[in-house]
Structure 1
Amino acid sequence: MTKREPSSLDTLLADVRACRVCEQHLPLGPRPIVRAGRDARILIVGQAPGTRVHASGIPWDDASGERLRGWLGVDNKTFYDESQIAIIPMGFCYPGRGAGGDKPPRRECAQIWLDKLLAELPKIELTLLIGQYAQHHFLGARRKSSLTDTVKAWAEYAPAIVPLPHPSPRNQAWFQRHSWFASEVLPMLRSSVKPLTADARLRPQGQKT
C-alpha cells in the first residue's frame, strides 16, 4: 500500500501543534488543540480549551461539548470527523484562570495561525462563532453591542455564519432568560448542519469525504 504524502494542511497542523510561542504565559504548558480536514464543510470557532480538554487533548470533551453536540444534532462520531467538521478555537491552548473564570484566548494564535488554517479549508460552508471572542474577530463592525444581540440577529449572518452563545453550564441562566434561542435559533442551526454532515455514502458520486 502506497504511503500517503502529507498535505500542506497536515504540515501546517504539525507546525501548529509544535508551537511554543506563548509557553511562558501558559500555566499548564503548551498543548495546541486544533482539528481540521480539507473536506470539512463546517467550521466551529470557540474560545480556548479548558483544563479538561487540555488534559485529554480532545476539543469540546466536556459538558459544554455535550450541549454543543445536542445543539447541532450530531453524535460524537460525526462531531469528531475531521472530513466534516473543523474545530479551530481562537486560542489553541489553555490560557489559565482569571478573576472571573478562564482567561481570554491568547491573541498570538489568531495572529500567527488562523488565516493560514482558513486558507487550507476551501469547502467551509457554515461557520459557527461561539462566544464573544470569535464573533469579534470574524464579524468585526457587523457584530452588535452585546453577544445576546448578535446571536438574536443571526438572520443577518446566515446562512454562512451563525453566532452562538457558549454552551457552558455556567450560562444556564442565559438560556432560561432567552427562550427564543431554543425555539428559533436551534431549529435553524440543526437544519443547516444536517445536509452538511450527511453520511459519505449519501453524498454525490465523486465527492470526497
Structure 2
Amino acid sequence: MPSKAEKLEALLREVRACDVCADHLPFPPKPILRASVTAKILIVGQAPGRRVHETGIPWNDPSGDRLRDWMQVSRDTFYDEKRIAIIPTGLCYPGTGKSGDLPPCAECAPLWHPRLRAALPNIRLTLLVGNYAQAYYLGDRAQKTLTETVRHYRDYLPEFLPLPHPSWHNQAWLKRNQWFAEEVLPLLRAKVSELL
C-alpha cells in the first residue's frame, strides 16, 4: 500500500498534467504548486503571474518578496516544501486583462483543492492571500470586502489567516489600513515562527 507521501506525489503528477482550462489560457497549461505531507503552512494565493509562469517558481516576483517580508522568512525557508506548501486558487497563469492579470480559472480550485488539502495532513495554518483565496475557502463566512475580511482575521483563526495581496499595487491600501501592519503582521510572524 502506498504511503501518504507516495499518494501525494502521484496526485501532484496528476495535477501538473492537468489541461482542463487549456482553451481559456494564453499559453499551454503549466500548473505551479509545491507541497509535501510534512508541510505545516499552506499559502493560497490567486494564480501565477507571467513571471512565475516563465520561471515555474511560485511567488518569484516583487509580491513574493513582500510576502516573505511579511512572514519574516528567507527564500530558502519559503521554498522548503517540507515546511510550506504553496497552492494557488488557479494553478496556471490566466493571462493579462486591462488592469492586471485575469482572475484564476473557475474550474481549478473545486477540481484540485479538496483532494490536495486531504493529502496534506499536517497543515496547521492556511494563509488566504487576496480575494479569490478568501472567497473560495471562506465562502459565506467572508465579509463584504477584503478589508473587512482581513480586519476580522480573528474569526478565521486558527485554521485560516486572511491577508491582502502583497502586490505593490496595494501600497495605498496598506497606507490607509495601518492596523494591518500593527496587528496582523506581528501575529502572522509569530504564528509562522511557531510552526516552522
TM-score range, shorter chain: over 0.9
**Aligned residue for 2:30?**
31
Q: Which amino acid is the alignment partner of residue 68 of structure 1?
A: L
Q: Is the partner of 1:162 in helix, strand or coil?
A: strand
Moved more, 40-49 or 102-111: 102-111
- How far residue 101 of structure 1 moved from its aligned partner, in angstroms, is 1.3
Q: Which amino acid aligns with 1:34?
A: L
Q: Distance in 2 between matches of 1:185 and 1:20?
A: 37
Contact 2:94-2:104 at 8 Å conserved across structures: yes
Q: How many Å separate the matches in 2 of 1:71 and 1:92?
A: 23
CA contact 2:94–2:102 (8 Å) conserved in 1: yes
**Paired residue for 2:168?**
169
Cα 1:126/1:101, change in 2 over 3 Å = same
What is the letter of the counterpart of residue 161 of structure 2? V
For the structure 1 residues 153 and 27, does the alpha-carbon distance in structure 2 shift closer, same or farther, using more than 3 Å as the test? same
Match of residue 78 from structure 1: 77
Work out whether 1:107 is the aligned partner of 2:92: no
Alignment-mate amino acid for residue 15 of structure 1? E
Larger Rg: 1
* Matching residue's letter, 1:161: F
Counterpart of 2:46 in structure 1 is 47
> In the alignment, residue 175 of structure 2 is paired with which amino acid?
Q
Secondary structure of the structure 2 residue equivalent to 1:43: strand
C-alpha separation in 1, matches of 2:121 and 2:82? 12
Matches within 5 A, 1:1-209: 7-197=6-196
2 CA distance for matches of 1:49 and 1:153? 27
Amino acid at match of 1:67: R
Distance 1:39 1:33 in 2: 19
1:45-76: per-residue Cα shift (whole Å, max 9, x none)?
Answer: 00000000000000000000000000001001
TM-score using structure 2 length: 0.96
Shift of 1:140: 1.1
RMSD in angstroms over aligned alpha carbons?
A: 1.4
Q: Deviations over 1:111-141 (max 9, x none)?
A: 2111110110011000100111111111111
Structure 2: gaps of 5 or more residues: none
Structure 1 runs, 4 residues or longer, greater than 6 Å off: none
1:146-187 Cα shifts (integer Å, max 9, x gaps): 000000111111222100000001111111111111011000
- Letter of the 2:58 counterpart: P
**Counterpart Cα distance in 2 of 1:131 and 1:157:** 15
Sequence identity (%) = 57
- d(CA) in 2 for partners of 1:144, 1:25: 29
Letter in 1 for 2:28: G
Paired positions, count: 194
